[in-house]
């Protein structure tokens, strides 16, 4: 049977990272996958996570399954990290399902959405993370795209975005990136989030927020101000959150699907659908990452250490953006100041596919075909090499 299968194209992100790993060029630079790298080119373990891990190894007495919904301390901590204590209130209107990473959260959210509104169309930003459509499409949801990024101005094309979203109707879902838009780094302002809330109220669509970078754009609070505004105004919001980046738990696959609902009855029904979906797809979530995240977020000393390290990381990424934008502008006589206005790990350099591929082949500089780079993989060693290589094709 399997001989009938044909070979699929490699994943546009992971495939390139594998190509880079296999490249024997000792000067290669990998700006493909979104992973935070420190000045030594290592993706570090947060001090608080390391400490929590030592505690966990010493304390852990069982490897029995977690409940299908996940670890209670982790779930409570994530509700409050994302929504804040005021919106959480007594928590009875919020359903939380611990998931294997942010992808798992998107999948559980999609399963619940497909159960609630099988004919829903999901509106996705153009461009978006390339996995959104295959991942959410795997439960049978349909898609439309809305304009988002204007390559000419290097910013959000809000006029066309809202124009396109006029087509989103009651029963449709609009997927927004909570912060640090992947792949563009161009985020909505709070005023623009408020205008989306107006549209959602008037048109009746539901908003799903993909939140993979809380704390990596501006800070833990500012990065969720938009989604909190929506939750407060609309009374209904779905969030797929990930701890891969902000807690450095990439390989531990730690995420959560959060359903902010209007009443406790809706929350109970949503919870049952979330549990059913989890059981169908993977049964119970992996424990290790969530147990670490739960400890870090709920223990005051570990929490303070994590927050301080996260804000240093965020500040370093902002500094890398400033340096890259200044060096590129100076070297090319073109305006790259947009890089310092954008947020999080990613920005487009504005190169053509041929230029991006040429840099890969001729210089060992790996970025996506779209010229998306992972700013968080730059450092003092590779910054000038990147600037020089990019300038050579402009
Ligand atoms: C990325 O966009 O590079 C990250 O979100 C990692 C991934 O899974 O694609």
Task: Look at residue 94 in the predicted model and tell me its pLDDT.
Answer: 95
Q: Which pTM was predicted?
A: 0.97
In angstroms, rounded to a whole number, what is the distance separating the alpha carbons of residues 320 and 336? 13
The finding on whether 34 has its CB within 6 A of some atom of ligand 1 is yes
Q: Indicate which residue of 164, 210, 223, 299 is catalytic.
A: 210
Catalytic: 245?
yes
Measured by CA distance, the residue closest to atom 2 of ligand 1 is 34
Query: Ligand 1 centre from 13 Cα, in Å?
Result: 7
- Average pLDDT in the 134-157 region? 96
* Mean predicted lDDT score pLDDT of the chain: 97
pLDDT attached to residue 67: 94
Q: Is the CB of 33 under 6 A from ligand 1?
A: yes
CA of 106 relative to ligand 1 center, distance in Å: 14
Q: Report percent pLDDT > 70 for the chain.
A: 100
pLDDT at 205: 98
pLDDT at 293: 98
Question: Mean pLDDT, to the nearest integer, of 319-336?
Answer: 97
Give the model's pLDDT for residue 393. Answer: 96
Q: Of the residues 123, 129, 193, 306, which is catalytic?
A: 129
Mutate to test the pocket of ligand 1, among 10, 129, 255, 377 (most ligand atoms within 8 A of CB): 129
Cα distances (Å, whole numbers) of residue 249 to 44, 204, 209, 291: 10, 36, 20, 11
Atom 5 in ligand 1: which residue has the minimum CA distance?
Answer: 34
Closest atom of ligand 1 to CA, residue 212: 5
SS (H, E, C) the chain: CHHHCCCCCCCCCHHHHHHHHHCCCCCCEECCCCCCCCCCCCCCCCHHHHHHHHHHHHHCCCCCCCCCCCCHHHHHHHHHHHHHHHHHCCCCCEEEEEECHHHHHHHHHHHHHHHHCCCCEEEEEECCCCCHHHHHHCCCCEEEEEECEECCCCEECHHHHHHHHCCCCCCCEEEEECCCCCCCCCCCCHHHHHHHHHHHHHHCCEEEEEECCCCCCCCCCHHHHHHHHHHHHHCCEEEEEECCCCCCCHHHCCEEEEEECCCHHHHHHHHHHHHHHHHHHCCCCCCHHHHHHHHHHHCHHHHHHHHHHHHHHHHHHHHHHHHHHHHHHHHHCCCCCHHHHCCCCEEECCCCHHHHHHHHHHHCEECCCCCEEEHHHCCCCCHHHHHHHHHHCC
Annotated catalytic residue, options 79, 93, 245, 343: 245
pLDDT of residue 145: 98
pLDDT for 308: 98
13 CB near ligand 1 (under 6 Å): yes
Q: How many whole angstroms from 3 Cα to the centroid of ligand 1?
A: 31
pLDDT digits (tens, 9 = 90+) for 269-306: 999 999 999 999 999 999 999 999 999 999 999 999 99
- At 149 the pLDDT is 98
Taking only the tens place, the pLDDT of each residue in 11-24 is 999 999 999 999 99
Express each pLDDT in 381-393 by its tens digit. Answer: 999 999 999 999 9
- Active-site residue flag, 123: no
Query: Is the CB of 285 inside a 6 Å radius of any atom of ligand 1?
Result: no
> For residues 186 and 151, is the Cβ–Cβ distance under 8 A?
no
Task: Name the residue at shortest CA distance from atom 4 of ligand 1.
Answer: 34
Residue 242 CB–ligand 1 contact under 6 Å: no
Q: How far is the CA of 212 from the centre of ligand 1 (A)?
A: 9
Edge to edge, the sheet with strand 173-177 lists: 94-99, 255-260, 237-242, 206-211, 173-177, 121-126, 142-147
The predicted structure's pLDDT at residue 209: 98
Task: Name all domains of the chain by residue range, CATH numbers in brackets.
Answer: 2-44+311-392 (3.90.1150.10), 65-298 (3.40.640.10)
CA 182 / ligand 1 centre spacing (Å): 8
Q: Is 241 a catalytic residue?
A: no
Span 52-70, pLDDT tens digits: 999 999 999 999 999 999 9
pLDDT, residue 90, reads: 92
Cβ of 128 less than 6 Å from ligand 1: no
Give me the pLDDT at residue 122, please.
Answer: 98
Q: What is the pLDDT of residues 155-189, one digit of tens each?
A: 999 999 999 999 999 999 999 999 999 999 999 99
User: According to the model, what pLDDT value does residue 191 have?
Assistant: 98
Q: Whose CA is nearest to atom 1 of ligand 1?
A: 34
221 exposed, middle or buried (CB, 10 Å; 0-12, 13-18, 19+)? Answer: exposed
Q: 137 with 170: CB under 8 angstroms?
A: no
Beta strands 149-150 and 142-147: pairing type? unpaired
Q: Are 191 and 221 in contact (CB under 8 A)?
A: no
């Amino acid at each position: 049977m399997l001989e009938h299968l044909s070979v699929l194209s490699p994943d546009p992100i992971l495939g390139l990272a594998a190509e880079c790993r296999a490249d024997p060029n000792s000067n290669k630079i990998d700006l493909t996958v979104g992973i935070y790298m420190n000045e030594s080119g290592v993706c570090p373990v947060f001090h608080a996570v390391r400490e929590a891990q030592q505690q966990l190894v010493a304390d852990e007495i069982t490897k029995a399954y977690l409940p299908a919904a996940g670890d209670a301390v982790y779930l409570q901590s994530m509700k409050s990290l994302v929504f804040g204590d005021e919106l959480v209130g007594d928590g009875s209107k919020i359903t939380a399902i611990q998931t294997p990473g942010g992808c798992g959260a998107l999948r559980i959210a999609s399963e619940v959405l497909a159960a609630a509104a099988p004919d829903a169309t999901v509106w996705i930003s153009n461009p978006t993370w390339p996995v959104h459509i295959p991942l959410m499409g795997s439960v049978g949801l349909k898609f439309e795209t809305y304009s988002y990024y204007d390559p000419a101005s290097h910013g959000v094309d809000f006029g066309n975005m809202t124009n396109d979203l006029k087509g989103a109707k009651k029963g449709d879902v609009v997927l927004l990136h909570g912060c640090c838009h992947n792949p563009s780094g161009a985020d909505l302002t709070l005023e623009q989030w408020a205008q989306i809330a107006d549209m959602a109220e008037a048109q009746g669509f539901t908003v799903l927020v993909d939140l993979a970078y809380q704390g990596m754009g501006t800070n833990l609070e500012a990065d969720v101000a938009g989604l909190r505004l929506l939750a407060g105004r609309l009374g209904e919001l779905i969030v797929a959150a990930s701890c891969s980046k902000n807690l450095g738990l990439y390989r531990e696959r730690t995420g959560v699907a959060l359903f902010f609902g209007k009443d406790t009855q809706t929350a109970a029904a949503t919870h049952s659908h979330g549990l059913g979906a989890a059981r169908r797809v993977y049964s119970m979530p992996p424990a290790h990452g969530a147990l670490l995240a739960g400890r870090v977020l709920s223990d005051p000393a570990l929490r303070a250490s994590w927050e301080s390290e996260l804000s240093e990381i965020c500040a370093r990424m902002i500094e890398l953006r400033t340096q890259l934008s200044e060096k590129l502008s100076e070297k090319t006589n073109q305006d790259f100041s947009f890089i310092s206005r954008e947020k999080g790990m990613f920005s487009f350099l504005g190169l053509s596919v041929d230029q991006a591929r040429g840099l890969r082949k001729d210089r060992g500089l790996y970025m996506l075909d779209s010229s998306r780079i992972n700013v968080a993989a730059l450092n003092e060693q590779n910054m000038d090499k990147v600037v020089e290589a990019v300038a050579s094709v402009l």
